[in-house]
Structure 1
Amino acid sequence: MSRSAKPPTAPPRPDQAFISVRGLTLRFPVYGYDAKSLKKHLARVAVGGRLDQARHGSTTVTAVTGLDLELRAGDRLGLIGHNGSGKTTLLRALSGAYEPDEGQIEVRGKIAPLLDLSLGIDPTATGLENIRLRGRIAGLSARQVEDKLEEIAAFTGLGPFLAMPLKTYSAGMQARLAFAVATAVEADVLLMDEWIAVGDADFQKIAHQRLLGLVERAGILVLASHDLDLIRLYCNKVMRMDAGVGSEVVSIKALDELLARPSVR
């Protein structure tokens, strides 16, 4: 039950990015349900994972079971599977948000998890203050944030609104600011839960190009998506998640064969 994400003395380059996952199992306690009633509820909403009844009577959901994965620089992995199959849970574990209950995770390189763009956003602070706050949360130093501040502010296209509290913004304006900050961080390992599309049609065009550049510069991409065309376009490998169990990693050319396999659910 361990995790290693410490870089070597010299920061790794994108071409040195590396992910190793061995026997990863993740469990989460569930409160307010017994195992029998929870199993019925999960069946109704088509959520995967295995239910376990602990000796002291509590119930846990095993969201990921015995997963092995190894990725090196140049790998673009697509994660596919139904809702609740464990894709997002795996991404969060790779980002360091979850510690393994069993197994180990080793990640070499700077990680950029584009999983929740609203993380760290303060509605009472101004747009500029939120850029600084979100930048620090994303791992930038105070100096790096200031160096990137003008570029991030310009990309948002929000102009004088950046001096106003975020709570006065529309949802689209908030999304533009959050996207601009999140994609200002260069990464060796890029983790994405669906391809990000924010703002109006004009902003989506420039946002797509910015995101594509970030993907191209990253050493490793792990993209979870239900859009198989997107997976085919941006990924060279694929893994299918099914009730917390990961398939072997196969070439994107074998995607149709992987999809044809029977579900373990």
Structure 2
Amino acid sequence: MSTSEDRPLVSIIAKDACVDFPIFDAKSRSLKKTVMGLVGGNITTETKVPVIQALRDITLTLEHGDRVGLVGHNGAGKSTLLRLLAGIYEPTRGFAEVRGRVAPVFDLGVGMDPEISGLENIIVRGLFLGMTRKQMEERIDDIADFTELGDFLRMPLRTYSTGMRIRLALGVVTSIDPEILILDEGIGAVDAAFLEKSKKRLAELVERAGLLVFASHSDEFLRELCDTAIWMEHGRIRQQGGIDEVLAGYKGRT
């Protein structure tokens, strides 16, 4: 009989997982007020709250070595699924378990302080992504070389242009050592020349990660980083398989 010790140290497992979001109106804008309206364990007609079913019946198993692309139109549930797989959202129903250290990269700018220097932000952003201060201090020179920001690294982040901020954030992101890497499509929102320079570092980052889930609208980027894919539609998994097979299905949808 297998035990939990037999399972991979790095894995994401979901079984019939659902994520719902209640929408409160002006008459019932707090959970406390809604709960106070419960009568005998049932919700009265006046206090019923509409619910958005963001994810429905998500069943999948991802293990060390998997490189999974996530495709689907805007609003299909990709971002919500990423947050479920990162352990940020708990399933409303069903089951989901994340085993391993997760580095969720949904927004390159999250965890950065505009009032402190670029060098200080390297440390702060690294801590936000689960690294230690010592680990980030050891990476500062490499990150500085990659960003090509020079003396700007000693200036407050608020003095940076958008492109400079992205360079700094991408330099930090591509220096980490995650067990599970969750990348949202915003990672590709950099100028073409710098993105080309970044591709090697991104590929090396993916190689270091035990498990990758990457949401993107770029077929080229998905094929470079992933070998399998999941097609999301209306909060459900419509297709899962090889990257070319899933992309063909998604592009050929009616």
Same fold (TM over 0.5): yes
Q: Aligned equivalents of 2:190 and 2:223: distance in 1?
A: 25
Aligned residue in 1 for 2:156: 165
Aligned residue in 2 for 1:236: 227
1:122 maps to 2:113: yes
| Length, aligned pairs only | 234
Q: Aligned equivalents of 1:106 and 1:214: distance in 2?
A: 24
Equivalent position to 2:140, from 143, 149, 161: 149
Aligned residue in 1 for 2:177: 186
Q: Aligned equivalents of 1:259 and 1:29: distance in 2?
A: 30
Q: For residues 1-265 of structure 1, what are the structure 2 equivalents within 5 Å?
A: 16-32=9-25, 56-194=47-185, 196-197=187-188, 199-255=190-246, 258-259=249-250
Q: Aligned equivalents of 2:118 and 2:223: distance in 1?
A: 36
Q: Aligned equivalents of 1:156 and 1:65: distance in 2?
A: 41
1:154 CA displacement: 2.4
CA RMSD in angstroms comes to 2.8
Q: Aligned equivalents of 1:130 and 1:96: distance in 2?
A: 25
CA contact (8 A) 1:135 1:145 kept: yes
What is the TM-score with the length of structure 2 in the denominator?
A: 0.81
Unaligned runs of 5+ in 2: 28-42
CA contact (8 A) 1:69 1:249 kept: no
> In the TM superposition, what whole-angstrom CA distance separates every residue of 1:105-147 from its partner, at most 9, and x where no partner exists?
2222222222111111111111111111111111111221222
Q: 3-state DSSP class of the match of 1:120?
A: coil
Q: Aligned equivalents of 1:197 and 1:31: distance in 2?
A: 35
Q: Aligned equivalents of 1:54 and 1:144: distance in 2?
A: 55
Q: Aligned equivalents of 1:229 and 1:236: distance in 2?
A: 12
1:160 CA displacement: 0.9
- Between the two proteins, what is the percent identity of the paired residues? 40
What is the TM-score with the length of structure 1 in the denominator?
A: 0.78
> In the TM superposition, what whole-angstrom CA distance separates every residue of 1:184-238 from its partner, at most 9, and x where no partner exists?
1112222111273355444323211111111122222211122234333432222
Structure with higher Rg: it is: 2
CA contact (8 A) 2:105 2:182 kept: yes
Runs of 4+ in 1 over 6 A off after TM superposition: 260-263
CA contact (8 A) 1:197 1:208 kept: no
CA contact (8 A) 1:78 1:235 kept: yes
Q: Aligned equivalents of 1:219 and 1:86: distance in 2?
A: 24
Measured at CA, do residues 259 and 203 of structure 1 come closer, stay the same or move farther in structure 2, by a change above 3 Å? closer
Moved more, 128-137 or 253-262: 253-262
Unaligned runs of 5+ in 1: 1-7, 35-52
Measured at CA, do residues 33 and 261 of structure 1 come closer, stay the same or move farther in structure 2, by a change above 3 Å? farther
CA contact (8 A) 1:238 1:251 kept: yes
Measured at CA, do residues 218 and 54 of structure 1 come closer, stay the same or move farther in structure 2, by a change above 3 Å? farther
CA contact (8 A) 1:198 1:207 kept: no
